[in-house]
Structure 1
Amino acid sequence: MLANIRGKVLTIGVASALTVILIYLALQESEYSPTKLASNLGYGSGGHQDTSQDTSQDTSKDASWEGEDTFASSHTTTKHVSPPASATKSASSHAPTTTLSDGWEFDWKRDERNLGLSQEQCKAAFPLQYAEIERARDWHASQGGIKEDQIKLWINEPDKAHGQIRMLIYDGDLYVVGEKQGVVDRVRYLQGGSMIYRAITAIPDPSVLPNIEFTLDRMDHPNPEPRRPGRVAWAWTRQMTDNDTWVMPDFNGWASSFWDTVGGYRAFRERSKKYLTPFKEKTKKALWRGQINVGQKVSEVRKSLIEVSKGKPWSDIEEIRWDSGLGHPVQMEEHCKWQFLVHTEGNSWSGRLRNLVNCNSAIIIHNPLNYTAHFYSVLTPDGPNQNYIPAKNDWSDLEDIMDYYLEHQDEAERIAEETRRTFRDRYMTPAAEACYIRQMIYEWAKVQKFDPKLYKQVKDDKGEVKEKQRGYSWERFVFRTPARFDIPPPPDDYFFKSNQIDFED
């Protein structure tokens, strides 16, 4: 449609300029305007989340793409389809960056592993990544700030036993002052805590960081419905309708879980380099591997993906069943050998996207997403900085998407290269992660309405009151053997409930 409009504009002359303007304004009000497409991910055009929208998924009737379909309708005889408005724009600019007064500018080859960038350098290098932190800060400021009773270990779980640790940053040192065992392996918050420890100790003087105290929840659903009013935690993700949770980089930034073959995140990035081949030399298909049953429920988004893509010439999409050996697993770094990579949500968010964006492949993501991660505000569905291809939640437009981009390889390659530039070379570097975590510490402190204490008063054997340091230093905690906590074998473990707290100082 837009291509036809452009052709007419070239021939009608100046007298038709008003018509062109009216058409442009109409497109801005359409479902495919940059603002509306960005809002499908839960963020407005300014990068801040719109908490007023209903982001619940509806796979029976698509909730994100209403009105006339941008892609060819099912009765169209030609396989040539029209792209979203953004797909025809040239890549005239890239993600913003800033040169500081001393001439410093982020250079990914030099700085990707520089975990100790200054605050000024962090903001200059990664200006788009802090929207989720700012959203949480502004929300809690509007609620009167965060009080100490809001960060206590949660024992009244509505769904299952949540593994949690209560953490204290004091004078630049990291402590654990409480732990509650629960489902999902304990390794998760050991990895997450290690990421926090790494970000703290990377700067020349960690004592400049404010003293804060918070709880880290290791579950995929950190604040499930029905929600406990006022409960505040750090987590890997949050549901779009959950305003209280603070989202930090997920544990995969340290390493994937011990049963996974991805291993350490840095090691994965290194291995994936050899698959960063020219886009047009990659396999011209869409790749996805995964389980349909996640968290002991069927993922309708994943089920629809399997059904829509079955038997299609452009599809390399398969379900994996580890118990029966169904499917053909693909190593994560080898995903980069395909031109198109499909991303789906799973039990909640899916941690695989942080790995996929390290490829120079075009990533297809269903919209709207029901959960967010720390870097989702950088995802751009259209315009010169487009870095992924949006699809419907029921994948009913996936065939048209593939037909279009297989025919328009230059446009697909542009998106893939923007993905690499934006994420692999900037926002998913270890340097960006460390900057994000430290900024999270600073912003949390602004709405924390209590003074964290390193010591507590206790009575000794003689009844005399003395001060005792709370909890364990991080260096000691990571080697501490937790209290015995038996979880029944599957399938009961996922719904296991317990109010057992290991300790809380």
Structure 2
Amino acid sequence: MKHNVPVFGFTKTRHKPTWGLDPDGIILIPCFTFSIFTAPRIGKWRTIFETLPKIADKIKWENRVKKVMWRGARTGDRWWLTEIGERKNDSSLDIQFIDWKSGKINRHYSDNFKTVQQYCQYKYLLHQEGWSYSNRLKYLLLCGSPVIYANFYEWEEYWYHLLKHDYNILVFKDKGNEKLFKNLTHAIGYDDQKAKFIGTNGKALVEKYLSEQAVLCYFRNVLIEYEKLFTYKPVKHPNAMKIDEFLVGYSS
């Protein structure tokens, strides 16, 4: 559907219509998680941005678990890839669904749940899209381990143009081709130097371009360009609230 005014969105794809909207008319803005995320052990992006790299740096590369790790909910089109891991016939894969139900360790989720801090204990990480995009990618990259991005439907956030295959991420698009997926995971497992190179570059990307200051700078420039479309001078509404309060639903 064509529209006459810009539509702000956290994500879009050209693979299929984004809720009936023309992707060319969607202006990507930073996801709400650049403010705060209510998932367990995450919270404010500012805090994670400062603390997670320090946690990762304390875990020596040679001491990280030599497996491809992923945990996630049963959303979107994640079944094919996750089923490969859940067969448990490949010791290099630790890919499992989690359930949001009471476990022995926590009453909110199953016992195989991993915090974003625990992700940094693994040498290789997997990122899967959900119903649309998944906002977890920036957290994974901060661990400094190479991330395999299963980008089947080409959902993108505003900063994804910075992702470069074989440089700061490993992009996998061949859904249904188990042989190619296994070849990719085994190849990166055999080339420690390349794996560390990609992981280091992925971490550097986030630290350079996704700091709080960089995110606000991008948002400011978007609004400056948007303002040029106005034929009147907008004024602040008396009931206006901070953007993070609006997006998350409560004050941070």
1:333 CA drift (Å): 1.8
Letter in 2 for 1:303: W
Contact 2:124–2:145 under 8 Å retained in 1: yes
Contact 1:304–1:395 under 8 Å retained in 2: no
1:471 CA drift (Å): 4.0
Distance 1:478 1:275 in 2: 30
Distance 1:313 1:372 in 2: 31
Matches within 5 A, 1:213-232: 227=1, 229-230=3-4, 232=6
Distance 1:478 1:435 in 2: 19
| Counterpart check, 1:238 vs 2:3 | no
Distance 2:32 2:67 in 1: 30
| Percent pairwise identity | 22
Distance 1:395 1:324 in 2: 35
Q: 1:305 aligns with which of 81, 104, 121?
A: 81
Corresponding residue for residue 216 of structure 2: 434
* Number of positions where the alignment pairs a residue of Structure 1 with one of Structure 2: 227
1:478 CA drift (Å): 5.5
Distance 2:84 2:66 in 1: 18
Deviations 1:133-178 (A, max 9, x none): xxxxxxxxxxxxxxxxxxxxxxxxxxxxxxxxxxxxxxxxxxxxxx
**Under a length normalisation based on structure 1, what TM-score does the superposition of the two structures give?**
0.42
Deviations 1:209-258 (A, max 9, x none): xxxxxxxxxxxxxxxxxx4743532121123351111111111111103x
Q: 1:269 aligns with which of 21, 46, 49?
A: 49
Letter in 1 for 2:113: P
**Under a length normalisation based on structure 2, what TM-score does the superposition of the two structures give?**
0.81
Contact 1:366–1:395 under 8 Å retained in 2: no
Corresponding residue for residue 239 of structure 2: 472
| Counterpart check, 1:405 vs 2:185 | no
Distance 2:209 2:177 in 1: 28
Corresponding residue for residue 154 of structure 2: 370
**Greater relative contact order (CA < 8 Å, ≥ 6 in sequence):** 1
Q: 1:321 aligns with which of 99, 117, 128?
A: 99
Between 1:429-438 and 1:270-279, the stretch displaced more is: 270-279
Deviations 1:365-414 (A, max 9, x none): 123443210110100014xxx10112123362221112111111111111
Q: 2:122 aligns with which of 334, 338, 344?
A: 338
1:324 CA drift (Å): 6.2
Distance 1:434 1:402 in 2: 36
Superposed CA RMSD: 2.5
| Counterpart check, 1:416 vs 2:202 | no
Corresponding residue for residue 67 of structure 2: 285
Distance 1:395 1:263 in 2: 36
Unaligned runs of 5+ in 2: 18-22, 104-109
| SS in structure 1 of the partner of residue 70 of structure 2 | strand
| Residues 230 and 376 of structure 1, relative CA distance in 2, 3 Å threshold | same
1:359 CA drift (Å): 1.2
